[in-house]
Amino acid sequence: MKVETKKKLDIVFKAFLIITSLSSILVTFAIVLALIEDTIRFFVHPEGGGFPTSLFRFFTETEWTPTFVTKKIGIWPLLAGTFLIASIAMIVSIPLGLIIAVYLSEFASWRVREAIKPWLDFLEAVPTVVYGYFALLAVTPLLQWIFRFFGIEMEGMNALSPGIVLGIMILPFTASMVEDSIRGVPQYLREASYALGASKLRTAFEVVVPAAKSGILASYLLGISRALGETMVVAIAAGMYPNLTINPLEPVQTITGYIVQVALGDLPFLSFEYLSIFAAGFMLFLITLFFNQLAVYFKSKIERY
């Protein structure tokens, strides 16, 4: 091959690389465009009451029924359901994740760690619909059985069981990220603590964990945004009824659950129902974006020793 042809080929090759890299930006733009455009259409749609009214109703009404004849479009029931389940998930995930991470990085031998890590990876890859099945047909009956001892009847669809399952589901993700940040704590801090006569347990929880707190916080924020965006578990096990409640024993609906419910039906393009899932999705996108940016902020504050 001549040098000239080679040079030309090189330019083509580089152009190809740049174009494919730009495709990722294109995807982001497409997401934002699709969401914003249809969200705007949702707010100007006559069935929602036209522009300023619909926005007002969106944040003040307490019922969410865009698919019914009388359309109420208050987002709060969906938000309440979403955050209720996410907080149950975090209550499960925060202590367990911390314990697993501390154990793996401080106590476990190299051999144990190598044996456990692949399983954590695999847990992360288990399809979420499988977790949903498990929540509905194993965890819920178990909880019902337990609650019956206390004389409480629980409904088949509830927020508690998908919340617990979700917490376990994001566990491998948060645990491995927390472990990474704990491992970033320099050895001399531990040695200083041992030199002062602290036990291993005390060193782990009173020296190492506080030293890694920014990283740990960032991991949990990412975990929260995962729990908020998770779909199948809640669509299967949490019910399909938008319910403004903080009682975990009642059925609730999350933003993602609502999108699934509507998408399962037949959607005429640009109908009010069709547009409503974009408005709900846009809310979800903004919320997860907020948590992600918060995580990025805390990550940038990780102490360098």
Partner 1 sequence: MIFLFSVALKLFLDGMHRIFKLKFYTSFPSRFPEEAGILSAWVGTLYVMVGAIFWAILLGVPAGIYLEEFGGKGKLARIIEANITNLSAVPSIVYGLLALGIFVYRLNFGESILTAGLTLGLLMLPVIVVATRESLRRIPRAIREASYALGSTHYELVFHHLLPYSIGGILTGVIIATSRAIGETAPLLTIGALTFIAFLPPAPWKDLIGMLKSPFTVLPIQMFNWVSRPQEAFHQNAAAAGFVLLVLCLVLNSLSYYLRYKVRRKYYW
Scan residues 32-61 and list those touching partner 1 (CB under 8 A): 33-35, 37-38
Of residues 155 through 194, those in contact with partner 1 by CB under 8 A are 168
State yes or no: residue 2 binds partner 1 (CB under 8 A).
Answer: no
Tell me the number of residues near partner 1 by CB under 8 A: 71
State yes or no: residue 31 binds partner 1 (CB under 8 A).
Answer: yes
Q: Which of 54, 215, 284, 298 binds partner 1 (CB under 8 A)?
A: 284
State yes or no: residue 22 binds partner 1 (CB under 8 A).
Answer: yes
Q: How far is the CB of 157 from partner 1 (least distance, A)?
A: 11
Q: What angle do CA 23, 29, 33 make, to 5 degrees?
A: 145
Q: Which stretch binds partner 1 (CB under 8 A): 124-132, 176-184, 186-194, 208-216?
A: 124-132
The answer to whether residues 101 and 113 touch, using CB atoms and an 8 Å cutoff, is no
State yes or no: residue 144 binds partner 1 (CB under 8 A).
Answer: no
Closest to 64 (Cα-Cα) out of 263, 266, 257: 257
Q: Which stretch binds partner 1 (CB under 8 A): 58-66, 72-80, 182-190, 278-286?
A: 278-286
* Token pair belonging to 295: 């995580």
The answer to whether residues 84 and 228 touch, using CB atoms and an 8 Å cutoff, is no
State yes or no: residue 23 binds partner 1 (CB under 8 A).
Answer: yes
Q: How far is the CB of 119 from partner 1 (least distance, A)?
A: 5
For residue 93, CA distances in Å to 144, 147, 242, 262, 273 come to: 22, 22, 25, 30, 35
Q: Which stretch binds partner 1 (CB under 8 A): 19-27, 42-50, 177-185, 192-200?
A: 19-27
Q: What angle do CA 150, 135, 117 make, to 5 degrees?
A: 115
The answer to whether residues 182 and 105 touch, using CB atoms and an 8 Å cutoff, is yes
111 vs 117: CA distance, rounded Å: 10
Q: Which is nearer to partner 1, 175 or 209 (CB)?
A: 175
Of residues 221 through 240, those in contact with partner 1 by CB under 8 A are 222, 225-226, 228-232, 235-236
Q: Which stretch binds partner 1 (CB under 8 A): 5-13, 180-188, 192-200, 201-209?
A: 5-13
For residue 152, CA distances in Å to 92, 125, 145 come to: 22, 35, 10
